[in-house]
Amino acid sequence: MVKVTLVKSASNETKTVKNTVAALGLKKIGQNKTFEETPANMGQIKKVGYLLKVEKV
């Protein structure tokens, strides 16, 4: 399991980055979600990792 927290805004990013953050279910700074470590989830997290804080749970 991986806990992901949005720490930077995606408002000035490209459309694909905004869509990836939205697909992760993150809308507001400080919001967090927990995900399984599947290849699809980890790929999304890696793509926008500079906007996120990632912790192993």
What pLDDT sits at residue 31? 96
Burial class (CB within 10 angstroms; exposed 0-12, middle 13-18, buried 19+) of 37: exposed
Per-residue pLDDT tens digits for 2-55? 999 999 999 999 999 999 999 999 999 999 999 999 999 999 999 999 999 999
CA gap 50, 14 in Å, rounded:
14
pTM: predicted TM-score of the whole model, two decimal places? 0.90
